[in-house]
Amino acid sequence: MQKPALAIAALPGRRDRMIEFAKETEARDFAGVFVTSVSACLPFCQAILQETTRLIVGSSIQPIYFQTARQLADNAAFLHEISRGRFRMGLGISHEVSLDRHGVPRTRKPVTDMRAYVAEMRAAEKEVGELPPLVLATLRDRMLDLAVEVGNGAVWANGPRDTVAAQLSARPASAGDDFFTAAMIPTAIDDDIDAGRAVHRKTLSRYVQLPNYRKYWSAAGFEQEMSDIEAAINAGETDRIPSLMSNEWLDSVTMAGPKSRILEGLERWRDAGIKTPILVPTSTKGSQTTALAEIFDLFE
């Protein structure tokens, strides 16, 4: 089986260890490493690129509101050049909690702002050098349409598999070899499916508290779950949120269970049109490093 890519977070105190995991990911011929926006995204991408020779490395994602388009174009072109084309520039909006933390005004218009940002990056290319492929983080159709129009690919985070498949099938251009499609999929390997689901319920609790995600999942067919969760939030009963996440919803956006179930799930994601599944390592037994080791073991 073709191996997926892996998501790695550059958390303080673990950065050296994560670079070593990235080097091992290359040695084991995984499809790539994608760095989340949690901490020092682009510097971590650079560190991995300089410690590897074949590995595809990408940001998933770098929020557009945290630096100017001209500055990011310069940084992206630098990474593209020194890696000899191994870097993928994942761009996204991020979410309200993170944007508020960085003081980004709430007057933003995501699709309009992304269109302008990509245009400004491309306009800077004559000065900064060739840009890497630009991959837009998408959930809804309008952002996916923009990715097809002005980008080189699209990446989902916690998108329901059937919804993603329907979105891609409605856009034939996304099936071309030169258009990158990826999905960030929280993955917990455990013979006890319910134990794996329990971990996902915990880690996704913060996402279901974000209005944009609830609206997206509601439109994707999970209206009852999102309505119940919103009612719990409004009542100040956030401790009830994990119990309101149905298995049907959870299994549409994550993978949990024994090795055979995870491998089957990977094939289903590829059948949905995702060329590069990006496993987000999660473990019932330990930290990110434990989860990465479990994924390595999956492909032994």
* Dist. CA 2–CA 276, nearest whole Å: 10
Asked whether residue 204 is domain-assigned, the answer is no
In this model, does residue 274 exceed pLDDT 90? yes
Q: Which residue has better confidence, 198 or 107?
A: 198
What mean pLDDT is reported for the chain? Answer: 94
Tell me what pLDDT residue 106 has.
Answer: 66
DSSP letter for each residue of 126-158? HHH-PPPPEEEE-SSHHHHHHHHHH-SEEEEES
Tell me what pLDDT residue 293 has.
Answer: 95
Domain range for 146: 5-193+253-298
Asked whether residue 230 is domain-assigned, the answer is no
Asked whether the beta carbons of 168 and 175 are under 8 A apart, the reply is: yes
Domain tally, the chain: 1
Asked whether residue 217 is domain-assigned, the answer is no
Asked whether residue 244 is domain-assigned, the answer is no
- Tens of pLDDT, residue by residue over 150-192, are 999 999 999 999 999 999 999 999 988 899 999 999 999 999 9
Q: What angle do CA 55, 263, 207 make, to 5 degrees?
A: 80
Give percent of the chain with pLDDT exceeding 90: 87
Q: Which residues contact 37 (CB under 8 A, 6 or more apart)?
A: 59, 60, 61, 62, 63, 92, 94, 98
Q: What is the CATH number of the domain that holds 166?
A: 3.20.20.30
Quickly state the pLDDT bin for 259 (edges 50, 70, 90): very high
- Tens of pLDDT, residue by residue over 95-118, are 666 666 656 666 679 999 999 999
Tell me what pLDDT residue 128 has.
Answer: 98
Asked whether residue 65 is domain-assigned, the answer is yes
| Closest C-alpha to 223, from 187, 248, 196 | 248
Q: Please state which of the ranges 8-22, 97-111, 166-180, 201-215 shows the lowest mean pLDDT.
A: 97-111
Tell me what pLDDT residue 187 has.
Answer: 98
* Dist. CA 219–CA 217, nearest whole Å: 5
* Dist. CA 237–CA 110, nearest whole Å: 30
Asked whether residue 184 is domain-assigned, the answer is yes
Is the omega angle on the peptide bond into residue 56 within 30 degrees of 0, that is, cis?
no
Give percent of the chain with pLDDT exceeding 70: 95
* Dist. CA 282–CA 212, nearest whole Å: 24
Q: Which pTM was predicted?
A: 0.95
Q: Which residue has better confidence, 6 or 289?
A: 6
What does the pLDDT average to over 243-272?
98
Asked whether residue 223 is domain-assigned, the answer is no
Asked whether residue 247 is domain-assigned, the answer is no
- Look up residue 115 and give its amino acid: R
Alpha helix ranges (H) inside the chain: 15-27, 41-51, 69-82, 96-101, 110-123, 125-128, 141-150, 161-169, 193-203, 205-208, 211-219, 223-234, 247-253, 259-271, 288-298
